[in-house]
Amino acid sequence: MILRLLLHLLLLFMLAPLLAGIIGKTKATFAGRTGVPFFQLYWDLGKLFKKGVVISRTTSWIFRTGPVIGLAVPLLAALFLPFGPVGAVFSFNGDLIFFVYLFALARFFTATAALDTGSSFEGMGAVREVTFSCLVEPTLFFILIVLVRLSGSLTLSGMFGPTLVASWHSAGASLIIILVCLLVVTLVENCRIPFDDPNTHLELTMIHEVMVLDHSGPDLGLILYGAAMKLLIFGAMLVRLILPFSLGNFWLDLMLFIVGLCGLAGLIGVIESIMARLQLLRIPQLLIGTSLLSFFSVILLLR
Amino acid sequence: MTESVYLKNGGMTPVAAIPRLEYGDFGQAIVTQVQKGQARVAAYFAVLSDEPGAVLEIFAILARERHGDLAVFRTLVGERFESLTPNCSQVHLFEREIAEQFGVIPEGHPWLKPVRFHRSWRPDHDAWGRDPAAHPLVGDLDFYRIDGDGVHEVAVGPVHAGVIEPGHFRFQCYGETVMHLEISLGYQHRDLERMLLGGPHPATPSQIETIGGDSTVAHMSAYSKVIEGLTGCPAPARAKAIRALGLELERLANHVGDLGALSGDVGFLPTASYCGRLRGDYLNMTAHLCGSRFGRGLVRPGGVLFDLQSSLSARILAALEDCEANTIGAIRLFFDTPSVLSRLEGIGRLSRSAAEDLGLVGVAAKACGVPRDCRFFFPTGIYQQEFDELITDENGDVFARARVRSREVEVSLGLVRRILGNLPKGETMIPMGPLPPESLAVTLVEGWRGEVVHVGLTDGTGSFRRYKIVDPSFHNWSGLALALRDQQISDFPLCNKSFNLSYAGFDL
């Protein structure tokens, strides 16, 4: 148990910033540039944690709480999810709902912290973030319902457990559909193109980035670290869905998991390189589309 | 038809030859011609008058595309006069400018607010009764406001997230929808027009070149042609060709850069990166020509300071060979990607009638289907033989503005080749004599952003009594404000980039 906890945390802390580096490097390669080093985010985080903080006088304690919860939530959520061969640390019946609403809690605090600054930009960002996450929630639940139904387990560790291999044989169509939906959810939740542009400097077009404009120093570091971990958590679910089998050796399986995550980061980099951003008005339409698609995968199972 | 003087582009007339109309006839002449679509207001400015009973003498320059000439009118006004704006919206900003400069009141102006927030040129006369001792606070404006449930105001700037010029934008929004945008500039005001009075001074060419740094060649060509027009000594043919080369390279660099920036704003990486680099390549070609990437020091009254050796010509052609394929490729990729097109089409649409009413020029006007190009309608120099490809588009949206740019890039590439391959022989510089007294000369140059208008007016000693500069941005900022109506506020950066107007050129 303790060993698993340590391994989990080690993977989470050490691997998360690398994914951002891989995405950046892939995009740079497509654009014909050298790009920043793979390990840039590690240096950035180190730099931010050494800095001081500037806090607006109009804010209250909520503003300081946002970043802390932004890091605490992915940390806690990760422990309910198996990372490749490393099983979940905690597990109880119905923990999938706890898992989903942990992220909702983080969103609540990030959005409230954004509103706390009183800036019109951050207010707009908060509104957009909350709207889009409302639309993502049904998709996420349909995905989980499919997995519950297939595995017969109400825990995340059971749903992403060894039964997945058999499920691919019995209900491949449903799983392919939820795989696509989960990729969309991952892109939306992690503010990637085509839904949001993490690299833009244009406040009026931002969704997530604009909410954290007023944070600086260690607070910003916590937010960036939390965001990287969130990507790793969603990535872990995707990788587990794509590569459910076991090679029989713990270390080989672990390698497979890590390679899978890096491959996924590369895929996100490719998507960001060959697509433009969606118009903000189109995002809800697309999200409703994925909700319907994921609902269809449930119907496929029930027929 | 009202009595007037009609000039060709670059033409000169003694001031005495311009009939001085009664203000009523003057207004009538402008309003009628503009409303009939025969003319548009290219420049409209005032000078102090010594005539008894008058405060200002107003000059109007109307550009008449169909006739290929410029009509000049003048009139006398007092402290208060009736505004022409209610009947001719093209003069709305010009009248505000005159009110701010001289502290006079155009009565009945529907939107009489400061333009650049500077003190009146006439001490103790201020149209808004502001403190004459203190410099007005830039941006201190009574913004248009909308109240109501769910309506909110968003203020952007003057300091922006990108490395761009300062300007303030005030949005009245209903949710994500923009109901009204008001743009307040003036942060870059350097009082250029007053610095030029009494000139030309030794510093004048440098000042002209920095009206808007991205349109150096356009503004300097216009200034040089004003001086050449006044003295009656046209620049040699070879110099004109080299100027045109500089102008087209400037157009290429900026259009390619703009397409790249548009691509960056929609989050499409490949074209953004390639065009960013290619813009540098085109700037470097200008640097080969004159040592400055922005063409500073290339053009001077009387000709150009740098001759084009045949070896240099070959070098630029070779560099162009390389760039052309890359440019066309990057642009094609941009317009062939469905996710990009869906992001551009239908955004920031401006109707043709609005563009005509506001008197828009350049890329913004062409994208609405309004044919506006000085190279075509008022050609001088090499454009008389070499230019016949007037580009327009129809929808007036971001896509149309991008496509006008991409097609102009192709035309300019061809032009640069033809200029380099067919350079007239001869000298590149002739000496200029002194300026004649009491004369007026007008020049229109099609810069990459649109029409650059310079008007030189000399006093009894042959010095500048007034030097009027109209950058295309002066007309087009209102177009941007109108294009944002009923748009998503998140689309503002994209719309703004598709116009890509100059702050410095507006603020002067």
The answer to whether B275 faces chain A, any CB pair under 8 Å, is no
How far apart CA B113 and CA B119 sit, in angstroms, is 14
Instruction: Please determine, for residue B385, whether its predicted confidence score (pLDDT) is greater than 90.
Output: no
B109 Cβ neighbours under 8 A, 6+ residues apart: B83, B85, B92, B95, B96, B99
pTM here is 0.88
Nearest to A290, CA basis, from A184, A207, A187: A184
What are the extents of the domains in chain A?
2-302
**For B5-107, which CATH superfamily applies?**
NADH:ubiquinone oxidoreductase Nqo5 subunit (3.30.460.80)
pLDDT at position B406 is 93
Q: Average pLDDT of B429-444?
A: 90
A105 close to B (CB below 8 A): no
A300: closest CA of chain B, how far (Å): 31
> Which of A31, A280, A282 lies nearest to residue B269, judging by beta carbons?
A31
3-state secondary structure chain A: CHHHHHHHHHHHHHHHHHHHHHHHHHHHHHHCCCCCCCCHHHHHHHHHHHCCCCCCCCCCHHHHHHHHHHHHHHHHHHCCCCECCECCCCCCCCHHHHHHHHHHHHHHHHHHHHHHCCCHHHHHHHHHHHHHHHHHHHHHHHHHHHHHHHHCCCCHHHHCCCHHHHHHHHCHHHHHHHHHHHHHHHHHHCCCCCCCCCCCCCHHHCCCHHHHCCCCHHHHHHHHHHHHHHHHHHHHHHHHHHCCCCCCCHHHHHHHHHHHHHHHHHHHHHHHHHCCCCCCCHHHHHHHHHHHHHHHHHHHHHC
User: Measured between CB atoms, does B488 come within 8 Å of chain A?
Assistant: yes
Does A280 sit within 8 Å of B269, measured CB to CB?
no
| From-to residues of CATH 1.10.645.10 in chain B | 192-507
- Positions in chain A short of pLDDT 50: none
Residue B299, strand partner residues:
B304
The helix (H) or strand (E) run that includes residue B169 is strand B168-174
> Which residues of chain A does B156 touch, with a Cβ-Cβ cutoff of 8 Å?
203-204
Residues of chain B in contact with residue A24, where contact means CB-CB under 8 angstroms, are: none
CA B217 to chain centre: 13
d(CA A178, CA A169): 15
Nearest Cα residue in chain A from B487: A281
Query: How would residue B222 be classed by pLDDT, with cut points 50, 70 and 90?
Result: very high
Other C-beta atoms closer than 10 Å to the C-beta of A3 total 8
Q: Do B491 and A280 touch (CB under 8 A)?
A: yes
pLDDT tens across A36-90, in order?
899 999 999 999 999 999 888 888 999 999 999 999 999 999 999 998 888 888 8
The number of residues making up chain B comes to 508
Do B269 and A27 lie within an 8 Å CB cutoff?
Answer: yes
Task: Answer yes or no: do A30 and B269 touch at CB < 8 A.
Answer: yes
* Tens digits of residue pLDDT in B14-60: 988 998 888 989 999 999 989 888 899 999 999 988 888 888 999 99
Amino acid A116 reads D
| Distance between CA atoms of residues B49 and B56, nearest Å | 5
Task: Say if residue B82's pLDDT is above 70.
Answer: yes
Closest residue on chain A to B170 (Cα): A120
Interatomic CA distance for residues A94 and A80, integer angstroms: 11
- List beta partners, residue B442: B455
CA distance B179 to B386: 44
- Which residue in B241, B379, B239 sits closest to B302, CA to CA? B239
Its sign, for the CA torsion B149, B155, B161, B167, is positive
Task: Give the count of Cβ contacts less than 8 A between chain A and B.
Answer: 87
Flag whether pLDDT at B1 surpasses 80. Answer: no
- How far, in Å, CA of A123 to CA of B96, rounded? 35
Q: Is B342 on the interface with A (CB under 8 A)?
A: yes
pLDDT at B2: 64
Beta bridge partners of B107: B82
A279 vs B: CB within 8 A: yes
Helix axes A120-151, A163-170, angle to 10 degrees: 80
Q: Please report which confidence band the pLDDT of residue B134 belongs to, taking 50, 70 and 90 as the band edges.
A: confident
For the segment B83-112, the average pLDDT, to the nearest whole number, is: 91
Structural contact between residues A293 and A49, judged by C-beta atoms closer than 8 angstroms: no
Pairing of strands B177-184, B56-64: unpaired
Q: What is the mean pLDDT of chain A?
A: 90
High-pLDDT (> 90) share of chain B, %: 48
CATH of B192-507, picked from 1.10.645.10, 1.20.200.10, 1.20.1280.290, 2.40.110.20, is: 1.10.645.10
As a whole number of angstroms, the distance between CA B446 and CA B390 comes to: 12
**pLDDT given for residue A269 in this prediction:** 92
Chain A: give the shortest CA distance to residue B326, in Å. Answer: 13
Residue B219 near residue B383, CB atoms below 8 Å: no
The two three-digit tokens of residue B311, written as one number: 């070896």
| Facing A276 at nearest CB: one of B155, B268, B277 | B268
The pLDDT value recorded for residue A32 is: 82
- As a whole number, the mean pLDDT across chain B is 90
Q: What is the pLDDT of residues B228-269, one digit of tens each?
A: 999 988 889 899 999 999 999 999 999 999 999 999 888 888
The answer to whether B493 contacts chain A (CB < 8 Å) is yes
Regarding beta strands B168-174 and B177-184, do their DSSP bridges make them parallel or antiparallel, or are they unpaired? antiparallel
Distance CA(B228)–CA(B433), nearest Å, equals: 9
Question: Measured between beta carbons, which residues in chain A are less than 8 angstroms from residue B489?
Answer: 124, 204
Q: Give pLDDT tens digits for B152-176.
A: 888 887 888 878 889 999 999 998 8
- pLDDT on residue A99: 93
- C-alpha–C-alpha distance, residues A107 and A98, integer Å: 14
CA nearest to B97, candidates B173, B30, B186, B14: B186
Q: Which of B156, B266, B340 to mutate to test the interface with A (most CBs of A within 10 A)?
A: B266
- Which residues of chain B are in CATH 3.30.460.80 domains? 5-107
Max Cα separation, chain A? 59
